[in-house]
Structure 1
Amino acid sequence: MTKKLWFQVGVGILLAMLIIKYFMEIKGILAPLVIIAKAIFLPLLLGGVLYYITEPIQRFLEKRKVPRWGSILSIFAILIAVVWIFVAIIGPPVTKQINNLVENAPAIAKEINVMQDSLLQQKNNLPEKLEESIDSAANSLQTIAVNFGKWVVQFLQSFLQAMFLLILVPFFFIFMLKDHEKFAPFIYKFFSGTRQEWIKKTLHDIDTVLRSYIQGQLLISFLLAVLLFIGYLSIGLEYALLLAIFGLFMNLIPFIGPWISAVPPIIIGFIQDPKTGILAAIVMVVAQQIESNLITPNVMGKTLDIHPLTVITVILAAGNIGGFLGIIIAVPTYAVGKAIVKNIYARRKEIKEAATSTV
């Protein structure tokens, strides 16, 4: 019985639960280590994202015989130039639109209240069952909005607390660019034979998943933001650039993010003019269809191959556990775990087949 997979999985789950239980009991002793880990996590995460964004540039330069330090200095020069262009060209209109939005916030809030009162009045004329369904949906949306607001506040607090540690970001980033080939060999050198090959393949799969997700998701979000900006400009929607940038960042949250990014432009469009609100909704639908049917399949392919229902479940669970930051890292973390489990399963299958052939 001990050789059965279900028995081994059960024992593994029980051991994991015991480890978690005793870890929670001694967390006071480990508190300093947890604080250090939290302080390092955000700079390490940002450094890793920058590495995966710029690694293709480094590979391109080094194929043309540019030395390692030359490629690193070139990447920093490119990043500084990109930031300068963003601040010089995009910064002023974004700042202007933010100031206009802040000035018009009371009027927008008043219009939203008027729209809400009008909808509530119309609701009383609906059948009882439909009215109950609307109430239930409204309560669910309110809960999601409140939780999302809490997640954003938690993220901002964590971000502000870690600002003084951001000097570590260039530190991690430089050493990732400099020594990234040494990481995998350092790990699998402790193993030998087929086990070493398995570790090497697993690390390669993890690297492929992270590379595909980070590079693909950022490129998709950027292209979607361009589509939204063009669409918003064409219908004359106010705060077009600001709303497109908001859509860019929200699209980093798979599946749920695009729906969140659709709410502000539609509300602002209806306040501006009901026709503009309808056009804003059409722009969102068209942009999302182009993104999901043309851009994402060609950029991401089926590297992650995660079902949408799994994505929703993972994101909701991660949001409750880790707040807004948990939402951001939920899907790539799940994808990495899935790659590890697939390799474990493949390894077990190879061992089983080898044992069978020997017999």
Structure 2
Amino acid sequence: MFGRGRRAAERSAAIHTASVTTPRTLWSDGFGTLATRSIQIIAVAVLAAGLVIAYQSLSVVVVPVLLALILACAFEPIMRWLRARINATLATVIVLLGIVVVLGGIVWAMVAAVRSQWEDLYDSATEGFQQVLAWVNTLPFAPSQDQLDEWFASITDFVTSSQFGNALGSGAVAGVGAVATFVTGLVLLVVVLFFFLKDGPQLWAFLSRPFEGEWYARVQRAGVKTVETFGAYIRGTAAVAAVDAIGIGAGLFILGVPLALPLTVLVFLLAFIPIVGATVAGVLAALVALVANGPVAAVIAVAIVIVVNQLEGNLLQPVLMGRALKLHSLVILIALTIGTVLGGILGAILAAPLAAVVWGIVQVWDGPNTPARWARKKERPAV
């Protein structure tokens, strides 16, 4: 009797244990782990898709705010130095006016140089095009004059057609919209930059209020790392771009290439797009030299670009950018591609510093010098 009761109690305990452990077993075996990871990946993908959609819908706001944040981080040492000596508002006005004057002066110099040398470049381009046509006519498979006349007539008919007029009209409307969007973004950039420069620390303290304990410390580390990374990246890239522009620009001036000043400024701006920017700048400089000064000058221009880029990549970037900001070329290329697809040229410019900031935050996630657990170096087992 007592044995029968004991067996019944053991059976009841076994059923209870099975009912408790079965769900745990379902989610702790191999398929359960796979399902959990799949749900997590889907959640991350949905969040990323939501962020992309929000960015594309609010790009007029997001891009100026990001640019203002990057510029504020870049000029943070100057603002800190000025705040210690003068009023914060006056310091902000001085820095903001300096930025506007420098950028306005660059744009004015480019426009003035293009206007003054455009006719000479147009004549050189026309002459070069005629030389290319004359060379093509010497080839055995060159098109006949009747074919050229037929192609020219087709182009003329398309230009004078209503279809081209409608396309031109819609393009004009789109151009007006683009100008309005640019002006709106520029005004927003200046206003947001003013407040970031003036009240940046107070704004960050306000945004940090919801966090407590370890998460508060983590957010503070992320904020400090963001300012340091953005600032160091932009200042280092600007220094490297200035050296590139001076070296390539001096070579173009010595060769007597037209539009040397706009090309120099363009080299400086394109240097903010890693990997691709230097190549594009070199191709443009070589094309202008080829059209205006001939093939010898074009070859020399290409050689100058290659030498300057090698000097930049092997000497200047490691020294000026620092090891902490060094990302693998594959990571930069992937970030550059994603940024270009999502945001065009501005996306390509912002991709590298954003990737550097993300990696910098990962490096201080669990402590000032302690990366996130998954990003820590693993010790290789002894063989």
| Fold equivalence (TM over 0.5) | yes
Cα distance in 1, alignment partners of residues 285 and 352 from structure 2? 26
CA contact (8 A) 1:225 1:247 kept: yes
Match of 2:8 in 1: none
CA contact (8 A) 1:212 1:303 kept: no
Distance 1:265 1:39, change over 3 A: closer
CA contact (8 A) 1:269 1:277 kept: yes
Q: How does 1:113-192 map to 2 (within 5 A)?
A: 161-192=181-212
The alignment status of 1:339 with 2:367, answered yes or no, reads: no
Distance 1:236 1:156, change over 3 A: farther
Question: 220, 234, 242: which one pairs with 2:240?
Answer: 220
Unpaired runs of at least 5, structure 2: 1-26, 142-173, 375-383
- Give, in angstroms, the shift of residue 209 of structure 1: 1.6
Q: How does 1:31-110 map to 2 (within 5 A)?
A: 35=57, 37-63=58-84, 65-82=85-102, 85-86=105-106, 92-102=112-122, 104-110=124-130
CA contact (8 A) 2:76 2:197 kept: yes
Cα distance in 2, alignment partners of residues 34 and 90 from structure 1? 31
Distance 1:321 1:115, change over 3 A: farther
The alignment status of 1:287 with 2:308, answered yes or no, reads: yes
Match of 2:43 in 1: 15
Unpaired runs of at least 5, structure 1: 122-153, 351-359
Cα distance in 2, alignment partners of residues 119 and 71 from structure 1? 66
CA contact (8 A) 1:253 1:327 kept: yes
Report the AA paired with residue 285 of structure 1.
I
Report the AA paired with residue 300 of structure 1.
M
Match of 2:380 in 1: none
CA contact (8 A) 1:216 1:300 kept: yes
Match of 1:296 in 2: 317
CA contact (8 A) 1:222 1:248 kept: yes
- Give, in angstroms, the shift of residue 288 of structure 1: 1.1
Q: CA RMSD in A?
A: 3.7
Cα distance in 2, alignment partners of residues 119 and 313 from structure 1? 42
TM-score, normalised on structure 2? Answer: 0.68
Cα distance in 1, alignment partners of residues 229 and 136 from structure 2? 44
TM-score, normalised on structure 1? Answer: 0.72
Match of 1:241 in 2: 261
- Give, in angstroms, the shift of residue 68 of structure 1: 0.5
Report the AA paired with residue 260 of structure 2.
A
Aligned residues: 309
How many percent identity over aligned positions?
20
Cα distance in 2, alignment partners of residues 237 and 50 from structure 1? 33
CA contact (8 A) 1:97 1:242 kept: no
Match of 2:377 in 1: none
Cα distance in 2, alignment partners of residues 183 and 2 from structure 1? 44
Match of 2:270 in 1: 250
Question: 320, 327, 331: which one pairs with 1:310?
Answer: 331
Cα distance in 2, alignment partners of residues 113 and 230 from structure 1? 32
Larger radius of gyration: 2
